[in-house]
Homo-oligomer: A and B are copies of this chain.
């Protein structure tokens, strides 16, 4: 169970993928990702990498792995989400999307074919289909029309993907993405269409965009009941430790989210016993570790009082420590989930753990 094989190594699922949007997991060295955080796969973003450093530089380096110095698997998001969330001026056509760079306002067009080509140049092990990520709330007509476009694009993505090949001598897999907003009928249609592509893995997009958690779980449950069970299911952009545990229970295998790093940079630390806001005065003279059972060196090296001081004094080391701690915790959490699935007591463990991880300490 739970094994995804790539030419850069095996991935044991369920897995959390640290987000390295622009080619770096913010504030974290690759040796730390490897040895301390124990990441098996990281995520990069097509939109960001296309704009900076650009495919030309990445190709000259021999692909993203060599450019950034990471020898394990990489997944790239297609840019569909970023085009909608980061750019102000954009135009959706049947052919694709034209948009202006959030960096310098320059004009660009993303088409399904172009995005496949860019992801061939970047060279991630797993690449994502180009889709439209609908916002929440989203009216039914918009969601239905958008889904049709996403499905047309998906077919074009597979055609382009199958007509091209890897540039760096190792295999790439294309994962399609289920959309359909919060409408069960659309999600069902989409999941069936996606399943018909017989891809190496399948993703669920358009969730965790502001809808209630119950609605996210309902859609995830429905989609998981349709997507093939022998292929990994990737719930994009999720989520809190609680979201991850509940979604594993529904059959999800892969996750990514900026939460452990973004919140870590702001002093919110996730632990086995709950959530710590390390900026609170209550930690000012607490000379115990963040998480006595934590496995990364930051859990051994630093006390709560010291980390609180780092945040108070706006020292860079605070956000760095917060990021490493949180990523290590997320990777520990999914590894523990796997252990309990193998042991056969996942649900019991999950129900206890969900209560713990959402507690405010």
Question: Which B residues lie within 8 Å of A66 (CB)?
Answer: 287
Beyond contacts A22-B315, A23-B315, A61-B303: 9 other A-B pairs, Cβ-Cβ < 8 A, are A22-B313, A26-B316, A30-B301, A31-B297, A60-B287, A67-B303, A67-B306, A69-B301, A320-B320
A31 and B301 within 8 A (CB) = yes
B320 and A316 within 8 A (CB) = yes
Interface string of A302-321 (1 = CB under 8 A from B): 11011001101101110110
A53 located at the interface, meaning its Cβ lies under 8 Å from any Cβ of chain B in the complex: yes
Given contacts A60-B287, A316-B316, A320-B27, contact A53 B301 (CB under 8 A): no
A361 located at the interface, meaning its Cβ lies under 8 Å from any Cβ of chain B in the complex: no
A287 and B61 within 8 A (CB) = yes
B29 and A69 within 8 A (CB) = no
A313 and B29 within 8 A (CB) = no
B284 and A57 within 8 A (CB) = yes
A18 CB to closest chain B CB, in angstroms? 13
A28 located at the interface, meaning its Cβ lies under 8 Å from any Cβ of chain B in the complex: yes
Closest chain B residue to A265, Cβ basis: B316
Interface string of A67-104 (1 = CB under 8 A from B): 11100000000000000000000000000000000000
A146 located at the interface, meaning its Cβ lies under 8 Å from any Cβ of chain B in the complex: no
A282 located at the interface, meaning its Cβ lies under 8 Å from any Cβ of chain B in the complex: no
Closest chain B residue to A261, Cβ basis: B316
Mark A residues whose CB is within 8 Å of B: 22-24, 26-31, 48, 52-53, 57, 60-61, 66-69, 284-285, 287, 297-298, 301-303, 305-306, 309-310, 312-313, 315-317, 319-320
Closest chain B residue to A298, Cβ basis: B29
Q: List 7 A-B contacts (CB under 8 A).
A: A22-B313, A22-B315, A23-B313, A24-B310, A29-B301, A66-B287, A69-B303
B57 and A305 within 8 A (CB) = yes
A305 and B61 within 8 A (CB) = yes
Given contacts A313-B23, A313-B52, contact A67 B319 (CB under 8 A): no
B320 and A23 within 8 A (CB) = no
Given contacts A29-B301, A301-B30, contact A24 B285 (CB under 8 A): no
CA distance A60 to B305 in the complex (A): 10
CA distance A310 to B24 in the complex (A): 8
Q: Closest 3 CB pairs between A and B? A: A27-B316, A24-B317, A22-B313
A69 and B309 within 8 A (CB) = no
A35 CB to closest chain B CB, in angstroms? 11
Given contacts A31-B297, A31-B301, A301-B31, contact A57 B26 (CB under 8 A): no
CA distance A255 to B23 in the complex (A): 36
Question: Which B residues lie within 8 Å of A23 (CB)?
Answer: 306, 309-310, 313, 315
Chain B CB within 10 Å — which of A52, A67, A68, A309 has the most?
A309
Given contacts A68-B306, A297-B31, A306-B69, contact A60 B285 (CB under 8 A): yes
CA distance A26 to B316 in the complex (A): 6
Question: Which B residues lie within 8 Å of A52 (CB)?
Answer: 309, 312-313
A292 CB to closest chain B CB, in angstroms? 15
A341 CB to closest chain B CB, in angstroms? 34
B284 and A315 within 8 A (CB) = no
CA distance A68 to B321 in the complex (A): 13
Closest chain B residue to A60, Cβ basis: B285
A97 CB to closest chain B CB, in angstroms? 22
